């Protein structure tokens, strides 16, 4: 009989879903932090709700579907779907309880101290109640439609994430309590937060939630009946699109059909206010096929995401972050063409500290420059009013060949992307709608320009979406180059995206799903070999998520060999750090601050000759195998030094950074006796941008009125590249 092999010891892993909930807990900590202006704290509170919505619509919905179908898919942590759901419900309910406590005990009182009041009806003055009655009668009551639920009125289709009221109705002329159910849909055209325009002593700004307004006046909808209770509620449904691309003749049409079905997906969560009739709640759960454990009863306004509208409604700059003025280097000043600047040397921007405007100028100049023959660009998330979309349309009108690859499978942006993509098609832009089986997530733009008797390519590569709005809110790396070895591969990437290519070749770029995963593993293994040979070995990686098991296992082996590894992982992290003999050389930190950390930067020591990359890919299986991603090398010595400096600054953060422990908890970095000052990396970057701007303005004031254009040198670029 053959000898049984000893079972191989398994590396430890955190659960993906619980790690994500830990990330959202850190977002909640931003709302609880007294370091931020109060309206910014309120916005972070809204982010918690937005994040939870997507988590339930996609991740929880997927687990519930597994349980229903009997399919068991286990991650590296080996937890089954039922066990995950139990833990998720426990952790998520504590998170939501703390979220509402933050609103009630911290945000509302702090706003009140700043003369901004969120009131219920009872707290209003007589004049305010009178004003509100007129408002309800004129603006709200005419568009409300109560839906009685009885044998003649079947249960209605309730839309995903829409706001409703659940009312218990009784006939006062009978002795029995009928508990008749009525559902009142709140039309989406109505503002969810109402500013009361009635004078009050002290001139405070007074606001009330629309659900509170309808609750108070709900008797108007049921004349002659008694309303025993009325509470707001909201249903979250499975919102993942199910598309077999191999069987679809027209992907665009199919996605539009699926978007129509999205509001009818299986219910996965019921959020409901306190005070609801328990009998009606049970009937509601039966109607939507949901269990009691999926109920989230909230003592406060349903869906705190609506606070985002309050942030814009409340015109109090003193309660918000001061506007951040971004830096635009003088290297873009004295040139008729941004292409001249790129030709002189690679350019790298660190957004939002460096302005995104140079890319907007790049695409606008490409659109108008008669020497430009072709523009190719990927778009994942943007807006219809984007100046980038406008420039691409203008380029097509001017007769240039414009190709745009629009990823219509970008989750929750499908409808928007379809809308503005069709506008591009209307002016002759060649629009390609993704690849079968893959999402196009890379951020690439290629411009082909005739210079003399030859064609030259210019390209932009980035870590963030081509969206000027989010470019002011996300930290990202933006890179311009005209180097042929890079632009040629970007051209090959676009040919792969728009044509057919089973085995494209990339030497400089790391491109998923072709070379990215294997090349990254080779770099990790090379550091492992260097450490075993007694050579310097270090890895630093900044990413949004770390989930891929092969990558984690190779990092564990690198740690065991003595490689010093610093991971800056904003969100999900399945790797367990600081385990003796496994990961004791790995430190994991998460940084949350004013800006959303979105850059992906990878550093490998390489025996004293560092290799540095930036790009669009997180370290997740979907990014490695199910998306088109582009990760690009930074080889210019000055730019490489700047990028390494950015990573080192993140590692010095003691204010916004949280360190991940082996038990899955994140903790603040304690002040030491020798160092009592907290360091915030985002503040350092902002201050450096401010100093560069001041220095540049001073130089401009000292310049003569007419300045002849001279080519910029490496030395003169240095001050604008160092942070």
Active site residues: 441
Planar angle of CA 679, 357, 455, nearest 5 degrees? 125
Give the DSSP letter of residue 469: T
**CA–CA separation, 322 vs 40, rounded Å?**
11
Question: What CA–CA distances, in Å, run from 10 to 315, 424, 452?
Answer: 55, 52, 62
Rounded distance, CA 52 to CA 614, Å? 29
Q: Is the separation of the CB atoms in 221 and 144 below 8 Å?
A: yes
**Region of 613 on the Ramachandran plot (φ > 0 left; ψ -120 to 50 alpha; else beta):** beta
In Å, what is the CA distance from 485 to each residue of 459, 518, 634? 11, 21, 13
Question: Do residues 569 and 590 make contact, with C-beta atoms less than 8 angstroms apart?
Answer: yes
Which residues are within 8 A (CB) of 603 and not within 5 positions of it... i.e. 6 or more apart? 538, 539, 540, 541, 610, 611, 612, 643, 644, 647
Cβ atoms < 10 Å from Cβ of 551: 21
The token pair at 571 is: 């969100």
Structure tokens belonging to residue 385: 């009013």
Eight-class DSSP state of 544:
S
Residue 66 β-bridge partners: none
3-state SS assignment for residue 409: coil
Extract the tokens encoding 163: 């706001």
Which tokens hold the place of 454? 């030859």
Question: Are the C-beta atoms of residues 595 and 569 closer than 8 Å to each other?
Answer: no
| H helix runs in 538-636, sequence order | 549-561, 621-625
Q: Where does 33-107 have alpha helices with state H?
A: 38-54, 61-69, 81-102
């Amino acid at each position: 009989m053959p000898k049984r092999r000893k079972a191989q010891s398994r590396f430890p892993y955190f659960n993906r879903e619980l790690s994500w909930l830990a990330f959202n807990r850190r977002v909640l900590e931003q709302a609880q932090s007294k370091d931020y202006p109060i309206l910014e704290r309120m916005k972070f509170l809204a982010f918690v709700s937005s994040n939870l919505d997507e988590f339930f619509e996609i991740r929880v919905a997927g687990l519930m579907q597994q349980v229903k179908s009997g399919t068991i898919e286990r991650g590296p942590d080996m937890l089954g779907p039922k066990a995950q759901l139990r833990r998720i419900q426990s952790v998520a309910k504590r998170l939501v309880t703390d979220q509402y406590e933050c609103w009630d005990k911290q945000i509302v009182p702090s706003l009140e101290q700043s003369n901004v009041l969120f009131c219920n009806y009872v707290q209003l003055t007589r004049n305010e109640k009178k004003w509100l009655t007129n408002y309800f009668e004129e603006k709200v009551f005419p568009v409300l439609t109560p839906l009685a639920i009885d044998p003649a009125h079947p249960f209605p289709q309730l839309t995903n994430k829409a706001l409703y009221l659940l009312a218990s109705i009784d006939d006062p002329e009978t002795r029995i309590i009928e508990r008749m159910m009525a559902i009142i849909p709140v039309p989406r055209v109505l503002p969810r937060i109402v500013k009361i325009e009635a004078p009050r002593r002290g001139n405070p700004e007074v606001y009330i939630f629309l659900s509170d307004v309808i609750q108070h006046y709900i008797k108007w909808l049921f004349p002659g009946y008694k309303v025993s209770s009325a509470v707001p509620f909201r249903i979250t449904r499975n919102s993942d699109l199910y598309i077999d691309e191999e069987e679809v003749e027209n992907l665009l049409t199919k996605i539009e059909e699926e978007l129509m079905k999205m509001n009818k997906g299986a219910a996965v969560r019921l959020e409901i206010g306190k005070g609801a009739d328990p009998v009606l709640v049970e009937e509601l759960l039966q109607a939507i096929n949901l269990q009691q454990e999926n109920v989230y009863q909230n003592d406060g306004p349903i869906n705190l995401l609506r606070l985002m509208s309050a942030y814009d409604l409340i015109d109090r700059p003193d309660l918000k972050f001061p506007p951040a003025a971004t830096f635009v280097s003088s290297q873009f000043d004295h040139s008729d063409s941004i292409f001249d600047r790129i030709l002189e040397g690679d350019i790298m921007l660190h957004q939002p500290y460096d302005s995104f405007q140079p890319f907007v100028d790049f695409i606008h100049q490409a659109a108008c420059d008669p020497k430009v023959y072709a523009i190719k660009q990927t778009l994942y998330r943007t807006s219809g009013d984007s100046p980038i979309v406008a420039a691409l349309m203008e380029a097509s009108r001017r007769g240039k060949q414009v190709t745009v690859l629009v990823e219509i499978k970008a989750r929750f942006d499908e409808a928007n992307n379809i809308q503005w993509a069709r506008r591009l098609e209307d002016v002759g832009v060649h629009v390609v709608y993704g690849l079968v089986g893959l999402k196009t997530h890379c951020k690439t733009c290629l411009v082909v320009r005739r210079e003399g008797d030859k064609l030259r390519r210019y390209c932009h590569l980035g870590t963030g979406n081509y969206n000027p709005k989010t470019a002011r809110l996300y930290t990202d790396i933006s890179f311009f180059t005209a180097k042929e070895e890079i632009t040629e591969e970007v051209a090959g990437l676009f040919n792969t995206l728009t044509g057919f290519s089973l085995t494209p070749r990339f030497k400089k770029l790391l491109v998923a799903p072709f070379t990215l995963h294997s090349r990254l593993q080779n770099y990790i293994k090379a550091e492992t070999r260097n450490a075993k040979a007694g050579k310097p070995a270090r890895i630093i990686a900044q990413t949004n998520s770390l989930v891929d098991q092969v990558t984690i296992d190779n990092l564990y082996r690198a740690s065991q060999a003595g490689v010093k590894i610093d991971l800056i992982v904003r969100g999900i992290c399945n790797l367990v750090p600081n385990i003796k003999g496994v990961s004791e050389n790995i430190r994991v930190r998460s940084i949350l601050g004013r800006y959303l950390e979105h850059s992906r930067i990878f550093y490998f020591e390489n025996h004293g000759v560092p290799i540095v990359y930036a790009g669009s890919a997180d370290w997740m299986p979907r990014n490695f195998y199910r998306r088109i991603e582009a990760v690009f090398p930074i080889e210019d010595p000055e730019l490489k030094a700047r990028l390494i400096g950015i990573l080192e600054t993140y590692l010095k953060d003691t204010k916004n950074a949280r360190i991940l422990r082996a038990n899955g908890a994140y903790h603040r970095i304690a002040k030491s006796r020798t160092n009592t000052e907290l360091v915030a990396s985002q503040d350092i970057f902002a201050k450096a941008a401010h100093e560069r701007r001041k220095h540049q303005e001073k130089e401009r004031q000292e310049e003569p009125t007419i300045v002849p254009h001279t080519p910029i040198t490496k030395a003169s670029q240095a001050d604008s590249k160092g942070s």
